[in-house]
Amino acid sequence: MSFVNASKLKLALARGRLRAAMIAALLTAGVLAASAAATGSPVPNGSKHYSFRTFNNPRDLTFNQLLGINSRGTIAGYFGSGAPGHPNKGYLLTHFGRGRYINENFPGSLQTQVTGLNDHGVTVGFWANKAGANFGFYAIHQRNFTNADFPTKNHSKPPVDQLLGVNNRDVAVGFYNDSMGNSHGYTYNIAKHRFRRVLVPGATSVTAAAINNAGDIAGFDTNAKGAVVGFLKTSSGHLITLSVPGASMTQAFGVNDGDMVVGGYQVGTGSSAKMYGFTWAPGVGFRSISDPSGVGTTTVNGLNNRGWLVGFYVDSKGNTDGFVAKPRH
């Protein structure tokens, strides 16, 4: 057996063990979960099987979003709503118990969001200039900041291009907007400087939001009926549509090596709409996730291979707070 094949087999076995562990945990949660009616959500409640903790950068306690977490527990995020006086400023949250914040902003940028990271010091995100243009970037150990924008002449004006996730093979995912405002997902191999499109048949708009170490991609798209639904596209090309029953919108934002997917879904529309986070796993389906301080205003944006979740919610004062949720079992 060649080294390459042995490595693939080892990775496949590891993914299988991880998936089995995730499914077992979620099946337990399903048996014990409160009824959907009790949460106002159309799917079973999985929140009680996590312990939640709020983390906000002290430089702006009014707006924080935690967007990605690696296997070491380092978290990517940003503070600042983007309103005047509150620009987006990226950071890494390390030393989970003590909450150490490390600033990370693209040099010369007006605003920066750090959206994803891997286990080897590579972070990705996007930055904005005074004209409101967005540009994707990657950095290595908070240094060597490099732009990474999909090569096209059909950009929106101002251009919008964002990197949202990266795996341990240094393959990133993101999207750009065309001149009609539609999104186009893509992958970017950092070492080879190679872009490839992420396609969803029949979709008018596609956002690639996360990629695991096997190359499976999670994201969301606008389908032929105009509905926004999530997806998981495996490295073999198999496409799974993720749509929470009864939801007016479903978006997938994260995926780990067990193909456990996280994201957010909306129930209702307009002023009565509520947002819930979710987990999804093969053979298990959806579980609703809400921070206890933000039921109906929660989004889960990332997860790691230990099943830790990160995201954000809106509290009773109208502030946006970052959170980490750890499985109780």
Prediction pTM value: 0.87
pLDDT of residue 40: 54
Residue 139 CA, chain-centre distance (Å), reads: 18
Q: Which residues are within 8 A (CB) of 129 and not within 5 positions of it... i.e. 6 or more apart? A: 109, 110, 135
Return the amino acid letter for 140: I
Half-sphere exposure of 184 (CA within 13 A, CB side): 20
pLDDT of residue 95: 81
**What pLDDT, on the 0 to 100 scale, is given for residue 41?**
61
Alpha-carbon Rg for the chain in angstroms: 19
pLDDT value, residue 185: 98
- The sign of the CA dihedral 179, 183, 184, 189 is positive
171-177 and 161-166 beta bridge pairing: antiparallel
Given a contact cutoff of 8 angstroms between Cβ atoms, the answer to whether 245 and 229 are in contact is no
Contact 124, 166 (CB under 8 A): yes
Q: 233 vs 6, 55, 131, 143, 144, CA distance in Å?
A: 24, 31, 34, 31, 31
54, 293 Cβ separation under 8 angstroms: yes
Q: Which residues pair with residue 91 across a beta bridge?
A: 77, 103
Per residue in 220-266, pLDDT tens? 999 999 999 999 999 999 999 999 999 999 999 999 999 999 999 99
Q: What is the pLDDT of residue 99?
A: 77
**How far is C-alpha 198 from the geometric centre of its chain's CA atoms?**
16
Domain count along the chain: 1
Q: The domain that contains 30 carries what CATH number? A: 2.120.10.30
Tell me the residue range of the domain where 165 lies. Answer: 3-327
pLDDT, one tens digit per residue, over 298-320 is 999 999 999 999 999 999 999 99
SS (H, E, C) the chain: CCHHHHHHHHHHHHHHHHHHHHHHHHHHHHHHCCCHHHHCCCCCECHHHEEEEEECCCCCCCEEEEEEECCCCCEEEEECCCCCCCCCEEEEEECCCCCEEEECCCCCCCEEEEEEECCCCEEEEEEECCCCCEEEEEEECCEEEEECCCCCCCECCCCCEEEEEECCCCEEEEEEEECCCCEEEEEEECCCCEEEEECCCCCCEEEEEEECCCCCEEEEEECCCCCEEEEEECCCCCEEEECCCCCCEEEEEEECCCCCEEEEEEECCHHHCEEEEEEEECCCEEEEECCCCCCCEEEEEEECCCCCEEEEEECCCCCEEEEEEEECC
**What are the residues facing 230 on neighbouring strands?**
220, 242
pLDDT at 42: 73
Listed residue (102, 100, 99) closest to 89, CA to CA: 102
pLDDT at residue 119 in the model = 98
Low-confidence ranges of the chain (pLDDT < 70): 1-41, 97
